[in-house]
Structure 1
């Protein structure tokens, strides 16, 4: 039996692409979520909405986007959102583990049975602090030191999920499948 019972996926950059005014799943997102659900692994979404705190987004705007994501990729077992601005001192903004612990409690799953697939090292660090397993799917603008410092790395959501479903929590530095792992490494601009 796979010890991972809940996979929390960072919304922006891992689950959906950042396309202004549109919600578009990343390539492989549907397949990754179908694989998790077929194995009876619960699925949750993690999001940051600092625009709510700054008055740039209304809660209705957020609900509209969440609703569209649910239409395209849902249903989800839990949705955990930090509505605070980066300068706010909140318990839920990564690298603090509050948001992940809230999600774990919401679906009654201990942190050690949770994997977090995230685009940022801060969210992976929040997973570690919560006692969960973290896998970094680097954002296109990820700094080389962020990628190099990742304990567990995958080039995309589908690769991360395949590794979690087939092997359980990450045991090696890089999760790989039939695709070239070099896709996970994006050279810095101007690097040769």
Structure 2
């Protein structure tokens, strides 16, 4: 798959008057850690708190899906409650995401293994680095609506991330 053809600035210009909630911009608090800086795709979600069991389970599954726009990688949006105490994604999980064709992972929380993440061919955005891993309790929810930094994100939305920011749309760009 080639790099997606979009610009979050152009998407914002095209949708700046949209008050319907179909177009949303995430706050500029996410840092890039993966080996891919620009990514997009249909969203799958995980809601968890200091337990990455469901994150690992999701990224161990195939990330490629058929869409009207062809075969694309999905983007996992992880609502980790903005916790800065434990890392929800590390090098092994990012390697699994790469192997399974995921386009990206956005974590409302922390990641770890910065050097390993940078070597993975997947987009990774998170609030910060934290070397401490999570506990494994098998808790959380998959594909439920999540609120990330005050913005609702739902399974099936489309996420676009580039150097200028992250936007979420109900449908893929035309």
Which TM bucket (shorter chain)? 0.3 to 0.5
Determine which structure has greater relative contact order: mean sequence separation of CA pairs < 8 Å that are 6+ residues apart, divided by chain length.
2
Which has the higher Rg, Structure 1 or Structure 2? 1
Report the structure, 1 or 2, having the larger helix content.
1
